[in-house]
Structure 1
Amino acid sequence: MMKKRIQQIAMLCSASFLLLSGCGAKETSKSDGNKEKTYQIGVTQFVEHPSLDAALEGFKQALKDKGLSVSYDVQNAQGDMNNNQTIANNFASDQVDLIFANSTPSAQAALNATKDIPIVFTSVTDPVGAQLVQSMEKPGGNVTGTTDTHPDAIPKTVQFIDKYVKGNRVGMIYNSGEQNSVAQVETVKKAMKGTDLKIVPVSVSTSAEVKQAAESLVGKADCIYIITDNTVVSALESVIQVASDHDIPLFVGELDSVKRGGFAAYGFDYYDIGYEAGEMAAQILKDGKKPSDLPVQYPKKLKLLINKKAAKDMNIELNPEWDSIAEYIE
């Protein structure tokens, strides 16, 4: 009996030792910080088109490169303002760690929904005019991000049109309900001062109206200039078709639209401004920075891109002078 009792005690001690060892290992794991926090980020995007999609990819890559574990809830408003606000309200109710707003309408809706959750935007043309930030240098509040307006992009495009396009009538199709588009049209007008260029404006409210708007410019415009208007860019192929059918040079506001069939643009890669926005988000989530501490960032690179196939389709003769200032795609 005594021997059996000793064996039972030994087995009980052994089990207790293993249990304590296991508990000790678990506590060490916690104290070592091996359990990584997964951040919840709500992504709100106004419409789907290549530039905004590229910005989102850049944003995600930056956070990955910074070593953050992130769970994304990606929502697209499909160009509907009501959907846009509903998405933002849902993110606010869910108390996500950060909202990534990809476009001006998306950022405005997010700010309407919350003053507490950090908001990082990109693809916003005029952050101050859209009342997202107090100033570019000192945003204030809970919002900051990257703008898709390089200070030289519109002036250089206008200079190119003035120098190389025959005629002075510049057709512009835009959604007057998008604050970023109205701001860009005003910038175009300012850039045209001192030239004989004039705008032939056509306003649309949905992407379904874009083709008819483009057709209305035939015979009234010597070229067409599509700025970074979300509504129009989402239906850009219809404008490209009209421009090609009627030999109208089509200038666009970003490089992805050149790749889709626009003739030329002074622009930058939206992936890059999305990446910069992701770096800012990492500073907020990982380093404890406040959006108000982070100045709004401009695109860092600007280049002229010309589509040779589009030039042929629109009956545009390539000028040797462009070889020293432009990059070409076939």
Structure 2
Amino acid sequence: MKKKVLSMVLSMAMATAMLVGCGASSDNNETIKEEETAANAEGKVYKVGIVQYVDDASLNQIVANIESQLDLLAKENGCTFEYEDYYYNGNADSTTINQIVTELINDEVDVLVPIATPTAMICQAATEDNQIPVVFAAVSDPEAAGLVESNDAPGSNVTGTSDALNTEAVLDLMLEQNRDLDKVGLLYDKGQDSSAGPIKDAKKYLEAAGIEYVEKTGNTNDEVMLAADALVAEGVEAVFTPTDNTIMTAELGIYEKFIEAGIPHYCGADSFALNGAYLGYGVNYATLGKETANMVAEILVEGKDPATLPVKTLDNGTATVNTETAAALNLDYDKLRDMCDGLVEVQTAEEFD
């Protein structure tokens, strides 16, 4: 009888030890698995399909930094990221983007990297069955777009980086620059998902401040030019645009209209200021591009599951001022320095370095 009891006790102790061991080592096992995957990356070639929504300074900057960071990570890991033969620009045309994504899937790319919300949504739909990893860049509201279940736990094959805009911070800068504002123009493309939330927030902010606003929209360069003319005719004293790719594409064609009318243009990205707008505020797109590339490497080299990789939202806080435009508008932007984590000065150009 004693032998039987002793045998049972030993069996229970062993079982308990095994259960405790399994619970304690699950994280370690995952770490070991990722380390083994990274070690096996030596000499491997990964096909990276990059799909840019449209040609503009913001998105071009993201792509350039994704590519340069992938080159750096390739050297560090002894592998190759092939992207040159798998990069496409969709020219803001959904039919074209769908064709591009289909071709990339047929090319058996290892990951899709869509730049901007419309492109990310097309990639998501195209990978529901094949579950090719999708790492998006510059999606302002991934949850609202239905790309992820939540930013903290995507829960699918889709994750990436977000350029969510702090609209209130931009408008705070606008009011600090001119505390007597009576009328503000809102310039955006109704078809851009990235603009919907910020424009709603801007209206709420301006209504609370007792400031009149005028909305003008456009989804082509010609329509944006007409919208800018309409805002000038309406007598607005400042214009706000969120991280809107359509307006970004047209900025080089409208900034002089606003300067001639004495109207500062406040926007949701530094690249707007590079293309002539008075001030851009928000995400540093160079950093965003690098972080996107880092996530690609985490998935391909380290073997991480996109479903478990939280969306990375970069901190806002840097204002970029076009000094030429500021001088033309006779605006003193030094008063804004204390309201930002940083203030960068640029002059008008077509692209960032």
User: Fold conserved (TM > 0.5)?
Assistant: yes
- TM, length-normalised to structure 2: 0.79
Q: Deviations over 1:282-303 (max 9, x none)?
A: 0100111111110001114521
1:265 Cα deviation after fit: 2.2
- TM, length-normalised to structure 1: 0.84
Alignment-derived partner of residue 157 in structure 2: 142
Contact 1:224-1:251 at 8 Å conserved across structures: yes
SS in 2 for 1:170: strand
- Counterparts of 2:41 and 2:207 in 1: how far apart (Å)? 61
- Taking structure 1 as reference, are residues 34 and 185 closer, same or farther at Cα in structure 2, changes over 3 Å only? closer
- Counterparts of 1:134 and 1:174 in 2: how far apart (Å)? 27
1:215 is the counterpart of 2:226: no
- Taking structure 1 as reference, are residues 194 and 34 closer, same or farther at Cα in structure 2, changes over 3 Å only? closer
- Counterparts of 1:96 and 1:34 in 2: how far apart (Å)? 16
1:81 is the counterpart of 2:98: no
Q: CA RMSD in A?
A: 2.0
- Counterparts of 1:202 and 1:81 in 2: how far apart (Å)? 24
Alignment-derived partner of residue 19 in structure 1: none
- Counterparts of 1:209 and 1:281 in 2: how far apart (Å)? 37
Q: Deviations over 1:301-322 (max 9, x none)?
A: 5212222210122x23315523
Alignment-derived partner of residue 55 in structure 1: 62
- Counterparts of 1:86 and 1:174 in 2: how far apart (Å)? 27
- Taking structure 1 as reference, are residues 34 and 111 closer, same or farther at Cα in structure 2, changes over 3 Å only? closer
Percent of counterpart pairs with the same letter? 27
Alignment-derived partner of residue 229 in structure 1: 244
- Taking structure 1 as reference, are residues 140 and 190 closer, same or farther at Cα in structure 2, changes over 3 Å only? farther
SS in 2 for 1:187: helix
Of 172-181 and 105-114, deviating more is: 172-181
Contact 2:281-2:316 at 8 Å conserved across structures: no
- TM alignment of 1:1-330, pairs within 5 A: 36-67=43-74, 68-72=79-83, 73-115=86-128, 116-150=131-165, 153-165=166-178, 166-192=180-206, 194-220=208-234, 221-300=236-315, 302-313=317-328, 315-318=329-332, 320-325=334-339, 326-329=343-346
> 2:99 corresponds to which letter in structure 1?
T
Contact 2:137-2:289 at 8 Å conserved across structures: yes
- Counterparts of 1:236 and 1:56 in 2: how far apart (Å)? 19
1:33 Cα deviation after fit: 7.3
- Counterparts of 2:213 and 2:103 in 1: how far apart (Å)? 40
Of 244-253 and 34-43, deviating more is: 34-43
SS in 2 for 1:66: helix
When Rg is computed on C-alpha atoms for both structures, the one with the higher figure is 1
Give the number of equivalent residue pairs: 296
Of 61-70 and 98-107, deviating more is: 61-70
Q: Deviations over 1:54-88 (max 9, x none)?
A: 11122122222222401111111111122122222
List gaps (5 residues or longer) in structure 1.
1-31
- Counterparts of 1:239 and 1:329 in 2: how far apart (Å)? 18
1:218 Cα deviation after fit: 0.9
Contact 2:57-2:248 at 8 Å conserved across structures: no
> 1:322 corresponds to which letter in structure 2?
L
- Counterparts of 1:329 and 1:61 in 2: how far apart (Å)? 22
Contact 1:175-1:204 at 8 Å conserved across structures: yes
Alignment-derived partner of residue 27 in structure 1: none
Contact 2:173-2:336 at 8 Å conserved across structures: no
